[in-house]
Amino acid sequence: MRPLLLSLFSFFYTLQLHAQDLPATRAVAGKLSSETFWGRGYVRQGMEKAAIYLSAEFRNCGLQPLDGNDFTQEFGFPVNTFPGAMHVRIDNKTLVPGKDFIVFPASASLKAESPLGAPDSTGNVYAIQAHRLMVSLRDKLTWAVSREQTNYTGLEILKTAMPQQPATIELDIESRLIADFRAANICGIVKGTSRPDSLLLFTAHYDHLGGMGKDTYFPGANDNASGTAMLLDLARFYARNPQRYSVGFICFAAEEAGLLGSRYYTENPIFPLSKVRFLINLDMVGTGEKGIAVVNATLHPREFAILQQLNDQNNYLPEIRQRGKSANSDHYFFSEKGVPAFFIYTQGGPEAYHDINDRPANLTFTVYENLFRLFTGFYRQLMN
């Protein structure tokens, strides 16, 4: 009996481990990166639509609301947005938003026509005092989110898109400060079978930068539709396979606006922070040609050794790079409050970042299944 039982067990266990399937994951990441969600940001209800979609997915996966009531935890903050005009013309060349230029995220609205004047000594910056306008030339465009609106307007133009010896600029930029933008974290749980008061957490932010004008949005496929899709796969797996400990899942909003969703959660925790045994934050996990990096590895050497040992035994990843502390994603405020946490992201492959090229087609998901095995194996060991 015993050998048969064992082999049946391992057969089903293997089946379950393969329960995540990459085409479905790609479809979820593709959907979150689509025009419908408009960069999961601050215009066209992009972030709100994503929150509604994710709450439904949490339910479909078989999660329960973390607070026993509903999946959302709402909060508000000010944010500067670009819902309308986004027109820039240099001499007789009209520049394409996102591709040829981006607007400084804290910009005020401006409609103007003016000589550019001479650049500064670097040759890269034009300051047009009369209109409180600053134009900078860049090798790469990297957009962001601002919580405030300043009293000037900034443009970053790709060097290769700037005409030779430019003379005049004509622009129409509309920005709008929303004083109390409403956002929501999505929080779910699979209750533990014998120690439900101990929690293992997976987190991933689902927001991105949103849109810039009427025609341009930032898909945020790697950052962080990839991590959100992976979190849903892990949720489905744990809902089908409850563990001794509870396993929690939080999709944070407003990471790109300054880790606001995770900060709000750590100030208003639904599950006591002291009961969180470990947290894995997923942010940009859509590649993996060069393995992964682990932020906070040096803070938790014992846990990092478990990751390495699992990798040595199974050859999951080409490399696991250890990093120290960093305030670069949603693990940070948890770490500051004493919650043991790793922030994990993949390395190598296409490197689009905070630009319009962070599209689903650039997600290679090279180590996706092995990363899934590494995480489930790691949490299994932490429970033993």
Task: Name the site residues for Zn ion (rule: CB under 5 A).
Answer: 223-224, 283
* CB nearer Zn ion, residue 114 or residue 328: 328
Residue ranges of alpha helices (H) inside the chain are 2-17, 22-32, 46-61, 227-240, 260-267, 301-314, 332-336, 368-382
Sign of the alpha-carbon torsion through 65, 71, 76, 79: positive
- Here the tokens at position 63 are 């999660």
* CB nearer Zn ion, residue 57 or residue 283: 283
* CB nearer Zn ion, residue 360 or residue 377: 360
Count CA atoms within 13 Å of residue 156 on its CB side.
16
* Least distance to Zn ion, CB of residue 48, Å: 19
**CB-closest chain residue to Zn ion:** 223
Residues 88, 107 contacting (CB under 8 angstroms): no
* Least distance to Zn ion, CB of residue 205, Å: 6
Residues 6 or more apart whose Cβ sits within 8 Å of residue 171: 87, 88, 89, 110, 111, 112, 113, 133, 153, 155
Report the C-alpha gap between 190 and 62 in whole angstroms. 8
* CB nearer Zn ion, residue 149 or residue 224: 224
* CB nearer Zn ion, residue 224 or residue 287: 224
* CB nearer Zn ion, residue 207 or residue 303: 207
* Least distance to Zn ion, CB of residue 327, Å: 13
* Least distance to Zn ion, CB of residue 259, Å: 10
Query: Distance of CA 92 to CAs 89, 127, 167, 353, Å?
Result: 7, 20, 10, 30
* Least distance to Zn ion, CB of residue 255, Å: 6
* Least distance to Zn ion, CB of residue 183, Å: 15
